[in-house]
A and B are shown apart, each in its own frame.
Chain A
Amino acid sequence: MTETLLEIDNLSVVYETSRGDLKALRDITFDIRRGEIVGIVGESGCGKSTLISSILRLTAPNMRFRNGEVRFKGDNLLMASNRQMRDLRGSDISIVFQDPMQTHNPVISIGQQMVDIQHRSSASVREKRARAAKMLGFVGIPDPEARLNQFPHEFSGGMRQRIAIAMALMSEPDLLIADEPTTALDATLEVQIIERLQELQREMHCAILFISHHLGVIAELCDRVVVMYAGAVVESGDVREIFHNPKHPYTRRLIECDPGHFKERARVLPTIPGEVPDLADLPGGCIFRDRCDRAMPRCASDVPPLETLKEGHRAACWLNHEEVPA
């Protein structure tokens, strides 16, 4: 079994607000092994972004860690000093953000920006530029040396996102966090990015935490999937298990809702009626029960624990515990 790189263990995070604590993450538990691609899927407000901020400890002023650990190579990052975190960010852990149009400084050439981010290295500027050119070639930018002198506006959106990936990979990180890196891109560019990430992962063996609400991309790219709903993990497991044998009604409904499933024009597309619960005033019992088509009396009273159903496949639903009456 491959070594575990990142372990999120019972992580709970709140935002302190005038209305009381907003429970943004509750008892999040999952791990990423070396060289593995793990996808996090969930709708707006499920806590994906808070999770990334927690791992990198780039926290909002009113954000508080209430419980749990984030262990990277065995060290609890929540106990690390600011100095240690700074050393980690952009070297062992890097990130690619959602919007390729706003990632780069518009008034500094791409080459200069790629040299600047190697500030930790003692190499000469010439060597740093050579490395930058090599990385651009690596992500499929043609004629990389000449391109170093160009500015962000001279590149297409897909190229800018690939440049962002090149920059994130300059330090050969062990973990790359990709926060919806294809959401702002067209389908053809989306595919380019996915294929490039797959190649990079094979060549550099870095683990990737890939965040998206696009199920098609998750299905294609990831080895394992973590499904989040309203600040909690409701299911996690091997990508095939999740898509072919989902054990939580939310996962099942989410997959059913994807219009990519219907090859013929559908009169009415399936949806998940209802709204995500208020995180400052959570109902008791299962958080999904109000929107669940198979809710039982027990779901209102008891919170279902995230339990292992079989090797690596976990879900938090009472349906997996009892014989359901026919």
Chain B
Amino acid sequence: MSLLSVENLKTSFGSVNVLAGVSFKVKPGETYALVGESGSGKTTVIRAIAGLAPAQEGSVKFAGQEIRGLPERALRPLRKDISMMFQDPVGSLSPRLTIGSLITEPYRIQGMKERDLDAEARRLLQMVNLPAHFVDRYPYQLSGGQARRVGVARALALEPKLILADEPTAGLDVSVQGELLNLLNDLRERLGLAMVIITHNLNVVRHVADRMGILYLGRLVEEGTTHDIFETPRHPYTRCLLSANPEPDPDARLNRIALKGEPPSLLNRPAGCEFRERCPFAQEICVQIPQWEVQDGHGLRCIAPLTPEVTA
């Protein structure tokens, strides 16, 4: 059974349709990555799941319970099970609170005051490999990587079943990025966490995600196991994204396929396939609207998908 099930989720801000029907499922203990360009709706998806952004249509089921559109009072107990790691690690920590009170704030909000908060803070810091004396520090005294760890500790405080992580490694140095990914992988195994990770760094996706979905203009265009998507991407957009991943080797032969133009405006969505105008493989048939089709667990929204020969 799925822990999280998102069905046909739609969000508009005024007349801008940011999410045009997003569906995916996450099993307990699974890591699902959402990948896409700026403006594709990645952040809106997880904010809508957490009840931080409106979703006018569709369904978000957590452990079988419908949670879309619940009032704040009804959402609050659920926030024990679903926690969020925000994109900006320093900006998401109040500068006037100590690290200790920041990571135990979830207990106070949930009314779990009977706990020994100081001991909890030390336990959480230890869990993310930070020294216990950090409880008395302030956010400005931390490096970017340390602030990320505090964000992880806070997200883990209430022992959630699902973590929604918005760009968890953006702006980190490679060695610190490795530490954070190792930490997330480790915690996931020990605590059986499920995660939805948003990122545009494909190197990160490969190492943390079991499955991934590619978002374009607020719709999934392809979905599958991370291995499948990297090995045999079938949507031209996925292929372009993967080929745009610079390799740390000056002699890497990049079989790069250039994306044409800019992402279209959400106010003026193209007719037919919405990727058509930028697609290097577009054909006449692409004026038709492609439907979402699933074959062997690999979902695709493309009338003229790539064959494995093109992909190789």
Any chain B CB within 8 A of the CB of A190?
Answer: yes
In the bound complex, what is the Cα–Cα distance between A159 and B37 (angstroms)? 13
Contact B143 A255 (CB under 8 A): no
Query: Chain B nearest CB: distance from A222 CB in Å?
Result: 8
In the bound complex, what is the Cα–Cα distance between A185 and B256 (angstroms)? 18
Any chain B CB within 8 A of the CB of A220?
Answer: yes
Contact A216 B178 (CB under 8 A): no
Any chain A CB within 8 A of the CB of B268?
Answer: no
Q: Which of these, B37, B173, B248, B259, contacts A260 with CB under 8 Å?
A: B248
Contact B202 A187 (CB under 8 A): yes
Q: Which residues of A contact B256 (CB under 8 A)?
A: 191
Interface of B is mostly: loop
Q: Which residues of B contact A244 (CB under 8 A)?
A: 250-251
Known pairs A188-B37, A258-B174, A272-B175; A220 contacts B263 (CB<8 A): no
Nearest-CB residue, chain A, relative to B202: A187
Query: Chain A nearest CB: distance from B301 CB in Å?
Result: 19
Interface locus among A60-68, A165-173, A262-270: A262-270
In the bound complex, what is the Cα–Cα distance between A271 and B179 (angstroms)? 6
Q: Which residues of A contact B179 (CB under 8 A)?
A: 271
| Residue-wise interface mask of B (238-262) relative to A, using a CB-CB cutoff of 8 A (1 in contact, 0 not) | 0011001111111110101011011
In the bound complex, what is the Cα–Cα distance between A316 and B3 (angstroms)? 53
Contact A214 B246 (CB under 8 A): yes
In the bound complex, what is the Cα–Cα distance between A243 and B246 (angstroms)? 14
Q: Which residues of B contact A220 (CB under 8 A)?
A: 246-247, 250, 252, 254
In the bound complex, what is the Cα–Cα distance between A190 and B245 (angstroms)? 9
Any chain B CB within 8 A of the CB of A157?
Answer: yes
Nearest-CB residue, chain A, relative to B179: A271
| Residue-wise interface mask of B (150-194) relative to A, using a CB-CB cutoff of 8 A (1 in contact, 0 not) | 000000000000000000000101111111011001000000000
Q: Which 8 A-B pairs have the closest CB atoms?
A: A216-B246, A269-B178, A43-B173, A215-B248, A259-B203, A272-B175, A271-B178, A186-B200
Chain A residues within 8 Å of B, Cβ to Cβ:
43-45, 142, 156-159, 183, 185-191, 194-195, 213-220, 239-240, 243-244, 253-255, 257-263, 265-272
Task: Give 5 CB contacts A-B under 8 Å.
Answer: A186-B37, A187-B245, A240-B250, A258-B203, A260-B248
